[in-house]
Amino acid sequence: MKICVVSDSHDRAPLLAAAAAQGKAAGALAIIHCGDLIGANTLRPLMQHGLPVHVVHGNNLGDALAMAKVCAASQGLISYHGQDADLNLAGKRIFVTHYPHYGRGMACTGDYDLVLCGHDHVASAVEVPNIKGSHTWLLNPGTVAGLGKPATWMLVDLENLVFDIRELST
């Protein structure tokens, strides 16, 4: 299973929708947004793709009530998890947060195969040693809004644990 991972869209709905379209075209079956979405209406264009969307908030929360309303209107397509999410997709345990420091801490537990974060707008895929004697992947897709960095998103192949940081083509 492949997933499209995005973060830090900062109300740039057209760029978020473009990343979702490119992810779907590349075989993604779900979208995970690692926070700083801001406006709930930024999510509306994602519904046209028909993929399940998992969202956490960041330090730029926006209107939580509006977020709940958009999720309810999506009839289960969009799930808003609050501060963080604990997901199981394709047999992989995935933890999602906005903050890299929180992500590093959760990766160190060894309880997850992947930890996804955002916030610093720097795309990366790093193996973090964990307390169970192995490693956990800490992934950051960068900023899909292209704020201070190129607009990026990440295609994640969960079966093969392959992570492809992609620049958004608009």
Contacts of 101 (CB under 8 A, 6+ apart): none
Give the domain extent around 115: 2-167
Note the pLDDT of residue 63. 86
pLDDT of 170 higher than 90: no
| pLDDT, average across residues 52-77 | 91
Note the pLDDT of residue 161. 97
How far is Cα 98 from Cα 12, in angstroms, rounded to an integer?
17
pLDDT of 36 higher than 80: yes
How far is Cα 74 from Cα 44, in angstroms, rounded to an integer?
8
pLDDT of 103 higher than 90: yes
Angle at 102 between CA 72 and CA 134, to 5 degrees: 110
Q: Do 117 and 34 touch, CB atoms closer than 8 A? A: yes
Percent of the chain exceeding pLDDT 70 equals 100
Return the CATH number at 95.
Answer: 3.60.21.10
pLDDT of 64 higher than 90: no
How far is Cα 32 from Cα 101, in angstroms, rounded to an integer?
19
Note the pLDDT of residue 16. 97
Q: How confident is the model at residue 169 (pLDDT cuts 50, 70, 90)?
A: confident
This prediction has a pTM of 0.97
Residue 40 three-state SS: helix
Q: How confident is the model at residue 61 (pLDDT cuts 50, 70, 90)?
A: confident
**What total of structural domains would you count in the chain?**
1
Note the pLDDT of residue 74. 93
| pLDDT, average across residues 73-99 | 96
Please state, rounded to an integer, the average pLDDT across all residues of the chain. 96
Note the pLDDT of residue 60. 87
